[in-house]
Amino acid sequence: MSSAETRLAAAGITLPAPVAPIANYVPFVRSGNLLHISGQVSLDASGGVTGIVGEDINVPDAVAAARLCGINLIAQMKAATGDLDKVVRIVKLGGFVQAGPDFYDIPTIINGASDLMVEVFGEAGRHARSAVGVYRLPRNFAVEVDAVVELAP
């Protein structure tokens, strides 16, 4: 078991089966040592977290939704590499929050995914990031996060 997988187990996280694309795209693309992972929404086995942050969803639930996105990103990393020890660094996360018109605390929400990357990958999990509030996300999900990951050759 990789050190990342040991940390996942210690956190009580079991990776789900990677989510299949819902349109004409692939879940990830490797180019050289970079893995680009398509946006992962706040989906879990119960259906996930949907709605508008600041209206339907409070901050703690939205942070948990971003963490779900992070778990789904890690599931895609595992699918792409077969071994999370091949992850050298989380380079960048792009976070999108379906936010109400008076909700501005977008960075706090995306911390749910960012904090998970550091928890699982240690210093290699520290990354550059965007955190953006948007009008709508696919299928009414509350949060979506994509990633760029550096892999071992």
pTM: 0.97
pLDDT at 1 exceeding the cut of 70 = no
pLDDT, residue 39, reads 97
Q: What is the mean pLDDT of residues 76-86?
A: 96
DSSP code, position 43: -
Q: Which residues face 81 on adjacent strands?
A: none
Q: What is the mean pLDDT of residues 36-48?
A: 96
Ramachandran assignment for 20, one of left (phi > 0), alpha (psi -120 to 50 degrees), beta (any other): beta
As a CATH number, domain 33-151 is 3.30.1330.40
pLDDT at 70 exceeding the cut of 90 = yes
The Cα–Cα gap between 54 and 23 comes to 28
The per-residue pLDDT for range 89-143, each reduced to its tens digit, is 999 999 999 999 999 999 999 999 999 999 999 999 999 999 999 999 999 999 9
Provide the residue ranges of all domains of the chain, joining segments of one domain with +: 33-151
Q: How confident is the model at residue 71 (pLDDT cuts 50, 70, 90)?
A: very high
- Which residues make Cβ contacts (< 8 Å) with residue 38, sequence separation at least 6? 21, 25, 26, 27, 28, 76, 146
